[in-house]
Amino acid sequence: MLLIFLLAVIALLVIVNDFMRKRSYRWKKLSEFPGDTPLPLIGNGLQLGFDSDESAHKLMALWKKHGKTNFRFTAGSEDWVLLCEADDVATILNHATELSKPLERNVAMKPFFGNSVSSSEGEKWRLTRKLMTPSFHFNTLEKRVDDVNSYCTQLFKHFDQFEGDRLVDIYKYLRPYMFDILCHSLMGVESKLLDNPDSSYLEASGKVIRIVTQNYFSYWRSIRPIFVLTPIYREMMEAIRTIRKTTTDIITKRREILKAKLPEIDSNNNSNKYDDDGIKTNNHCLLDKFLLGQTADGEPIPDEMISDEVTLVCYTGHYTTTMTMAHTLYCLSKYPEIQEKVLEEQRYVLNNNLNKNPTNQNLNEMKYLEAVIKESIRVIPTVTKIGRQLNNDLKFKDGRVAPAGSSVIIFYDAMYQNPKIFPEPEKYNPDRFLDTMHTFAFVPFSAGPRNCVGFRYAWVVMKSTLSNLIRRYEILPGGPGTEPQFAYRIITESINGVQLRLRKRVL
């Protein structure tokens, strides 16, 4: 009898709480956006189901159901306003103070990357941005292009083994290639993972996006006493240990290099300058900024903070660029006429010398290649959504308000399929990016105060790598049974890799 009474009380409290919620100011403002009525406690969570890899498809179905416009969704106790309109994206990304990331996103990310620049706020976030920004300044870009040209030579040695009709999984080699470039150019150490594409780091880091996405959309995982008992938790912790060990090794190697160089620097009374291997070039080596930098109190940067930032940069820096380049190569294999136009541009920019290493100026002139990369991101979004957790009400151009406490989500999947922004979105058409469009119609690296600090670096690496690959190989489809099986996770990735064929060009 007591149990029945307790259950009845709980049910009554749930009903009263739901009744009060749906008469609140917050719900009044949320109701201005189309969306399905949420159930008590779980909201619209059942509509996402229990397979996190299906969540993006189900959200897209809701977007279409509600008129292909901004809509609301309640996940447990969290309210989302999902945006697909460029004016509204501009409102949130340009906001000077609404800079907090969504709570559920931070819960999913922090086990891997701690309180890094991706999740931190306030003075810690400002300090980190200040330390990182010089290493991505435009005056560092020529050096980055030289790095890519050098490492492409090593990549060619691996890809040449697959020349002809042999299939090559582009992921398998682009990931270690990108990690090696990143470690050399931003961390000042050599990792040589391209010579070991089956390394423990690459195996562990290949699990991260799947686990983060599952954490994001599986709300029971916030109940830690239950989560720690599951096999998924053990898999997550093992991946974290492996990734963090690699971070520790990178930091230790760079400390040893600096230790050997610092007496030479001190003797020259030139402690603020670094040499070409990462020590005397002011801004090239990102890791040095943390190892030699100071907090606002004049103290050395804490080891935990350095570890968080290196783990984040090494992971996101190599993973997002790899996915974008691999998916672009896949698109080029599907559309040979577009691949030929890219090659013609290469001939024009490089004065018919297809063996030439491009400069940063050359890359700036490759407008069609850039359009192809952008269109590939539009068709296969590298990052599927970003967001902000509102501390105050946010008023959009049409007068509607996203209330304080809710999350505003930039829903890239829907935005890139929005026919009001991209006419005939089902067509692969790079030419659309050669025309003028809304400044916030395409913001894959975010924008405003909290944009991706490394966006210039990413563009240089992607354009120079693809330029080198397209000039050396004709990119061909893998053939029957090799189509990528894309999972639209926090980052889009194919669960069976990207299988292509490479035919060496006769230059």
Evaluate the CA torsion angle 465, 467, 472, 473 in order and state its sign: positive
Alpha helices in 218-302, H assignment, sequence order: 224-227, 231-267, 286-291
Bridge partner residues of 383 (DSSP) = 491
Query: Which of 497, 414, 486 has the alpha carbon at shortest distance from 53?
Result: 486
Fill in the amino acid letter for 7.
L
Tokens of 477: 């489809």
Query: Which of 44, 105, 46 has the alpha carbon at shortest distance from 74?
Result: 44
Residue 315 CA to residue 202 CA, distance in Å, equals: 10
Distance set, CA 66 to CA 61, 73, 308, 398, 425 (Å): 9, 11, 40, 17, 18
In which order are the strands placed within the sheet that holds 473-477? 168-169, 499-504, 473-477
**Do residues 39 and 393 lie in contact, with contact meaning Cβ atoms separated by under 8 Å?**
no
Residue 266 CA to residue 285 CA, distance in Å, equals: 19
What DSSP character marks residue 360? H
Residue 214 CA to residue 421 CA, distance in Å, equals: 30
CA dihedral (383, 232, 75, 491) in degrees, to 10, reads 0
Tokens of 391: 């501390």
Tokens of 451: 């944009």
Tokens of 176: 């270690």
Residue 86 CA to residue 418 CA, distance in Å, equals: 10
Bridge partner residues of 169 (DSSP) = 499
Residue 84 is labelled as binding a ligand: no
Residue 494 CA to residue 477 CA, distance in Å, equals: 15
Evaluate the CA torsion angle 313, 465, 363, 386 in order and state its sign: negative
Query: Which of 122, 119, 123, 81 has the alpha carbon at shortest distance from 103?
Result: 119
**Type and span of the H or E element at 274:** strand 274-275
* Residue list for the binding site for heme: 452
* Residue list for the binding site: 452
